[in-house]
Amino acid sequence: MRFHSPQKLKTIADLIGSEFVGPEDFEILGTNEIHMVKPGDIVFVNHPKYYDKALNSAATIILIDKKVECPEGKALLVSDDPFRDFNKINTHFTRIYNFTEELHDVEIGEGTKIHRTAVIGNNVVIGKNTLIFPNVVIGDRTVIGDNVVIQSNTVLGGDAFYYRKLNGNFDRLISVGNVVIENNVEIGNGCTIDRGVTDSTVIGEGSVLDNQIQIGHDTVIGKKCLIASQVGIAGCCVIGDEVTLWGQVGIASGNKIEDGSVILGKTGVNRDLKKGTYIGMFAEDFKGYLKKEVKLRNLK
d(CA 178, CA 193): 10
By the 10 Å C-beta count (0-12 exposed, 13-18 middle, 19+ buried), 167 is classed as exposed
Are 119 and 268 part of one and the same domain?
yes
Q: Are 132 and 75 part of one and the same domain?
A: no
Determine which one of 35, 47, 104, 217 is catalytic: 217
87 & 111 share domain: no
- In this predicted model, what pLDDT tens digit does every residue of 161-184 receive, in sequence order? 999 999 999 999 999 999 999 999
pLDDT tens readout for residues 214-245 = 999 999 999 999 999 999 999 999 999 999 99
Same domain, 26 and 154: no
The pLDDT value given to residue 81: 97
Q: pLDDT tens digits for 4-37?
A: 999 999 999 999 999 999 999 999 999 999 988 9
Note the pLDDT of residue 18. Answer: 97
* Active-site annotation holds for 217: yes
| The pLDDT value given to residue 300 | 60
Judgement on whether residues 136 and 228 belong to the same structural domain of the protein: yes
Q: Does residue 212 fall inside a structural domain?
A: yes
Task: Specify the 3-state DSSP secondary structure of 54.
Answer: helix
CATH number, domain of 150, equals 2.160.10.10
Whether 57 and 157 map to the same domain: the answer is no
Residues 18 and 153 in one domain: no
Same domain assignment for residues 149 and 215:
yes
Taking CB atoms within 8 Å and a gap of at least 24, the contacts of 15-20 are 15/88, 15/89, 15/92, 16/77, 16/79, 16/85, 16/88, 16/89, 18/63, 18/77, 18/78, 18/79, 18/85, 19/67, 19/77, 19/78, 20/75, 20/76, 20/77, 20/78
Alpha helices in 47-163 (DSSP H): 51-55, 82-93
CATH number of the domain at 30, please: 3.40.1390.10
pLDDT value of residue 89: 98
Tell me if 68 is assigned to some domain.
yes
Stated pTM of the model:
0.94
How high is the pLDDT of residue 239? 98
Q: Cα(218)–Cα(19) distance, rounded to whole angstroms?
A: 30
Are 57 and 205 in the same domain?
A: no
Q: What is the distance between the alpha carbons of residues 218 and 253, in angstroms, rounded to a whole number?
A: 10
Please tell me the predicted confidence (pLDDT) of residue 247: 96
- Residue 285 included in any domain: no
Q: Say which DSSP state 175 is in.
A: P
Residues 6+ apart with CB under 8 A from 164: 83, 170, 171, 173
One domain, residues 78 and 112: no
Per-residue pLDDT, 292: 85
Residue 94 has a pLDDT of 95
Our count of domains for the chain comes to 2
Distance from the Cα of residue 209 to its chain's centroid: 17
Is there a domain that residue 100 lies in? no
Claim to verify: residue 14 and residue 123 sit in the same structural domain: no
Domain that holds residue 64: 2-93
Give the pLDDT of residue 26: 97
Which residues, given as ranges, of the chain have pLDDT below 50? none
Q: What whole-number distance in Å separates Cα of residue 71 and Cα of residue 83?
A: 21
